[in-house]
Amino acid sequence: MSPSCCKGKQVHPTETDVAAGLEPGVECPAESPVSKPGDKDTCCSGDKVEPAVQTGAQKLVKHEKMANSCSECIDAPNPEQPCCDESCMVRIAVRECEDSCGSDNNCATASSGCKDLESKDDCCMKAPKAARTEKKPCQSHMQSVKRRFQPTLEGLGCICRALLALNLESCCVKGQNAQRQSRRPGARTYSPCLSSSTSLKGAKSDGCCSVAPSGPCKKPAEPRLSVASCAKICCSEKAKPASIVTTPDDCCSGGSCSKEKANLGATASEVSPDLEQGATNAEHVVLSIQGMTCTGCETKLERTLANIRGVSKIKTSLVLSRAEFDVDITQISVNGAVTRLQKATGFECQRLSTDGHELEILLPDAPETVLQHLPQGVLSIDPTTYATLKITYDPQLIGARDIVESAFDQQLELAPYRPDPSISAGNKHVRQMGLAALISACLTVPVLVLAWAPLPEREITYGSVSLALATIVQIFIAGPFYPAALKSLIFARVIEMDLLIVLSTSAAYIFSVVAFAMLVARKPLSTGEFFETSTLLVTLIMLGRFITALARQKAIESISIRSLQQSTTMLIESNGTSTRDIDVRLLQYGDTFRVMPEAKVVTDGTVISGTSEINESMITGESNPVVKSKGSPVVAGSVNGPGTLDIRLTRLCGDNTISTIANMVDEAKLSKPKTQELADRVAGYFVPVIVAITIVTFVIWVAIGIAIQQRSSSDATVQAVTYAIAVLIISCPCAIGLAVPMVIVIAGGVAAERGVIFKTADTIEAARNVTHVVFDKTGTLTIGRLNVKESNYFDGLATDVRPILLGLVSGIKHPVSQAITEHLQSLGVSPATVLDVKSLPGKGVLGNWNGSEIRAGNALWTQATPISKVQQFLTSDSTVLCFTINNTLQAIYALQDTLRPEAAHVVSTLQAKGISVSIVSGDETGAVQKTAERLGIPPSNALSRCSPTDKHTYIQMLKTSSTGSTILFLGDGTNDAIALASADIGIHMSEGTDVARSAADVVLTRANLRGVLVLMELSNKALRRIMFNFAWSFIYNLFAILLAAGAFVNFRVPPAFAGVGEIVSVLPVIIIAVGLRWAKFSA
């Protein structure tokens, strides 16, 4: 058969596929011919053909409708007559060097450990000389290629098909039009075979087995094609339409090909990227943003990003000072997008790494020695500042300590430890605000003294000094507000708080300059100049921003999960006796570290010696210490008790529990609930409305001054200006903008401390409205540790049946299978060999033993329900497993589980709140009804024998049964994933599977049902605080504007003191949000 281009859905590889070399983002072929054992391989002529194993890409193919189906290729080259040799891998490595470093970079010319590119035996169909470069790859890329393709070459004799399966050009030549993706750390890349129909035009393959993005190679005008040789299919030089019907005639140069016809049927116009997957070449970017002070800044950031072509999936957070988005690198480079963002907003942007492992080192004395040679496992070296380098590496190939101590034949020095980017960016912003406020205050005090102190009359002299000081304040302290306001207005079309500051301070300053000029000209105005107004106004604004930034920063730090990460640890040397203190960034796989009494565990691991009690409350919320001994797992951030533990590392610091939880919490902080959308709309109209009110206030006071107060027009204008300035500056939209995100951020930290991690802010908003809670049974309401209570065997001896049953269930992670496995292993049973084992959710396990079909599962699926003994087990409070061979019942097991101790309290509390409670389980009716009876759940709300689809259907029924209902589902298993995704709120128990975790909205880091009550109570407390913040913002701005506008006859706010408005409005919002940390929870 001929390899062909593909048009299918984007897929994500399993662990098996990753081991086979498949990378994320590669699309499986949607339509490909099917060959049978004995067919010729179309890549190379003259090969004998034997049945082959599936490639990683083929394992991902799902058989769907014919138009979108993917056929498995079971055809392979003969390893005894290889068409590829080691020179093919050298050519691949050279290309990877060029992708990473450029064609002229030393990376692609390093000679260490590399062979000549010319092979004694030509590869495949004799690739042209132009495709055979004399360059040699670096050692790192060469080793990487060998690691991925050497087993394939040794086993099959050809690596061309593996490359084609990965959507890469073959080893033979460098195709002119082949689309190769450089998957560097930090980039999330999606790579469909064909990016658009236009890419088909004129595309061709330049040699044997090289794949072009134009689809299968065929002649333009022939609807049917008789293939004379493999080369005509795989290695033709001409572009051909993407539709072919192959015939068995003359295929593969005399070999015996499949007699089945394969119709690819994909025309050029049909080939297009999957729009649901986003950009075809999308790179994910995370930026730390410095300079955001209010919600107007965040709005400006969002709109500027939205106006950059190629930028999508935008997420921003004022509180975290962060932005995340995808960049289509075919439209704009990442650096280009960041540069445009900085230019349009004036913010300082720093890109954060999200993938891969990195080390930041100080620039060595001879940096060229580091840059010239990359050790195996080191992926890249990039400068970060003038004094530091960033080394990206693969920890599976090389350890961090090896890099620093020996990999470059010199001792490198780690750069100082950097805290959480959101924390460090916030600290820098606080320092800048504090410095600006201090300088402004130092310049303002002399102006106030000259204006208010009873000094001798020297108007010109004092006015000149005040002018000089006020000018410095206006240019250097208030100066940054001008470009920020203009950029917002021009680029993002946003009228923000900075514009109000610019208008008010500029009005006061310009009016004072004019008044001083009139004084010098001997034509003084009746009011004189008031430089103290503009300088004091700027100082109070900066002081307010400093105090609010400081308060906001302290609030963020108080709930920072990453702050639990220790920076140093005690490493046990390889001799097992001596120890030394090292930076945790230098830990690597295989290390053992020691945790002293009362010290924190630095990263996840397994205890290899020692016994102690560990407090895991900071991670799981469980206050009672947990005893740890040899073989016990420990998690980062937990605190050791009185004993000393030696721990074998299992996860590096960047991948441990702290990092996982912190990433999930940050993801929730970046999301916005519906209440935030309301706040954003209000804040968006706020500034234009204030400007309109200011104009109205100015006009009214001019009229009042002339008509009622009998002032001159100049005096009336001056008076009106002071009222207008006060109105402009005292109003503050920041309180409205912070009302929601401050509470959500604090709520996320509070929930994490109690073992509840929510992924989106919408969950916090929705949890208070839950009307129905649906529980899974096994592993959720029960502990999930089943014990075999009774067993019975039929038609054979137990000694004959047990090994077969153990061989069937030993690799299955379902609680029932695990209980049977433990039971049989405790009896000393050895497993028999069982093939084609499949786990069927909601049913059981299916396999093949010596040609016989064997099943282990529930009574209904195994058709054992009518048997009296089975009926006896079913009516008891037991979970029943039936084992059959060729549909003949061989054994039944009754298993007993234990309810969680808190289950009854949680169910009764929910019912007391008026929330309906249900059980949906795949277990038998008797066990489910008994559990419901013990928990006080109505029998009508207890469903048994439920498949994953049945659970989904039940949840949908609850949704449609009443309007306004909110359904919460709590489960832990893979078969709960559909229900978790379909419920309004899906909660996953920590002891469950990763599949369920990925589908859930909330994750409980400890297996305790009280997490449901904590979530609901936290939702109520958070929403009450959000409503209070909204009310406070409204009341403050209403009365502040009335006071500033002079609505009260005997009292007004002078313009010089209107700058305190930000402090007065924002501080209560922050204090109310932080108060959530000390709230008491009944759960």
Handedness of CA 746, 752, 756, 758 (dihedral sign): positive
d(CA 815, CA 972): 11
Q: What angle do CA 928, 912, 906 make, to 5 degrees?
A: 50
Residue 889, strand partner residues? 884
Q: Which two tokens stand for residue 338?
A: 């960041």
d(CA 853, CA 197): 48
Burial 326-346 (b: 16+ CB within 10 A, else e): bbbbeebebeebbebbbebbb
Question: DSSP 3-state assignment of 170?
Answer: coil
Nearest to 333 by CA among 187, 491, 433: 187
Q: Which two tokens stand for residue 944?
A: 């048994």
> Taking the CB of residue 17, how many other CB atoms lie within 10 A of it?
21
Nearest to 173 by CA among 81, 82, 242, 237: 237
Selected catalytic residue, list 326, 776, 950, 976? 776
Q: Tell me, what amino acid is at 888?
A: T
CB 895 within 8 A of CB 878: yes
CB 968 within 8 A of CB 910: no
Q: CA–CA distance from 153 to each of 83, 162, 269 (Å)?
A: 9, 10, 36
One-character DSSP codes across 7-57: ---B----HHHHHTTPPTTBBPPSS-----TTPPPSSSTT---EE-PPPHH
d(CA 708, CA 685): 33
Burial 19-56 (b: 16+ CB within 10 A, else e): ebbbbebbbbbbbbbbbeeebbbbbbbebebeebebbb
Pairing of strands 916-920, 942-943: parallel
Identify the residue whose tokens are 């080893």.
Answer: 171
* E-only strand ranges, 727-770: 756-758
d(CA 745, CA 751): 10
CB 716 within 8 A of CB 706: yes
Let me know if 776 is a catalytic residue: yes
d(CA 41, CA 594): 56
The residues annotated as belonging to the active site are 776
